[in-house]
Structure 1
Amino acid sequence: MDLGSGGSGGGTLARALSGIGLPERLALASRSIAGRLVFTTSFGIEDQAITHAIFSAGLDVHIEIVTLDTGRLFPETYDLWEQTEERYQRRINAVSPDRGAVEALVNRQGINGFRHSVEARKACCDIRKVEPLGRALAGAAGWITGLRAEQSAFRAAVPLAIHDEGYGLIKINPLADWSRQDLARYVIDNAVPYNPLHDRGYPSIGCAPCTRAVRLGEPERAGRWWWEQEAKKECGLHLVPTQKNLEHSHDRLA
């Protein structure tokens, strides 16, 4: 498959992924990327849809599913984790933050010190999320996420596939062009288990002390780190999305 932006081979991987269903997108990604492929789930509704598609299509033989257990998730999230494993009879592997780093952070900041400043919050995210993600993706050739363009203005340019320079791999966002309605329809049609907090006004769910329900008319991610004035509601896992050409990634593609 030609993943370049031009030439006679035809189209990019992102273009190849458009116009087909979610299981087909995941299957195409698993065929196109030579090497370890990792899907990171936070058990949000997007990730539950992807998890269902992976397990139902038997793609877990090619795609490893992991979650970042920050230690501060909602009880409902942990319950859903168990429910998901029971539903699909599969284990979802956890990657946890370094114990010593967490202890040092709490001793320095206090238990909820991340609310003192943006820098303090980012330090917490770095230890509880970013560093564990680096370990989860170590040696991976591809990374599957639940990013959608509709989630926020910052994510509006999210493509279906991109070369992630930060992690040096191919990043696949199979729901990038899905609306919230598309997602809800898929979850209902397939009886996918989802977090009950979604029905209580939480479209985006992260760590419990850093997430609130959104108000009418607010963006989906407005409830994340709501005490901050930044328009960009991100923890550092995802860099600014760009439509970078994938042609330099041929060595990782079948």
Structure 2
Amino acid sequence: MSSEKEVQIRKNQGIQPRHVAIIMDGNGRWAKNQGKSRISGHKAGIESVRRAVSFSVNHYLDALTLYAFSRENWNRPKKEVMDLLDLFIVVIESEINSLHKNNVCLKIIGDISRFSRRLQDSIYSAEEQTKSNQGLRLNIAANYGGRWDIVHGVRKIAGQVKDGLIQPEQIEEETLSSHLCLHKIAPVDLVIRTGGEYRISNFLLWQVAYSEFWFTDTLWPDFDEYVFEGALNAFAQRERRFGGTSI
């Protein structure tokens, strides 16, 4: 494994991403292929989350953002939704000490007000326990949607305009950006989607404006350090121009 100094050099050169976001897709299809229930696929996906977090820590990423539960996921069968939320509680409560031990700062992004009181309490407790950690910033997007994020930010700005704290002509891109999720951390450099789909599914619509995208047919429960390494290797070959030219 490279040293932290070597990784920092690669980050400065733009070869190593600082912030990776992953759309974790394929749990249900994995379970179907195995002849198992959908919740079995979600449970198998938890092992991939552990591997992805461990990989990110070992490769000195600044941030890892995982798309765990979208606002549209409420439209799934009620039992699957309830099983997913129950699993979310179990995972948070069973993994938080390990995350804390590894200096990981956990943050849940999204509208958690719709969750049960127990799940909300688990989230608040986990965030409080790890808030001072200076290692990997682990963001879990739960009841999150990119459009919701933007609308939520616009509402905050509209309230400031109404109160006379800001004038409409003072609103810039940074104004909105500062009111969205993830505004205090490194921009998303790389978006990975598993499961063979080629869309972003309302994920971080504002934040991925200049991100690199990498898609794989690998179903999420089969996502491991080798696949993750492949994504980073592909990223290292990209030329990021941010609207400019290379010559």
Question: TM-score by structure 1 length?
Answer: 0.35
Higher relative contact order (CA 8 A, sep 6+): 2
Q: Which has the higher helix share?
A: 2
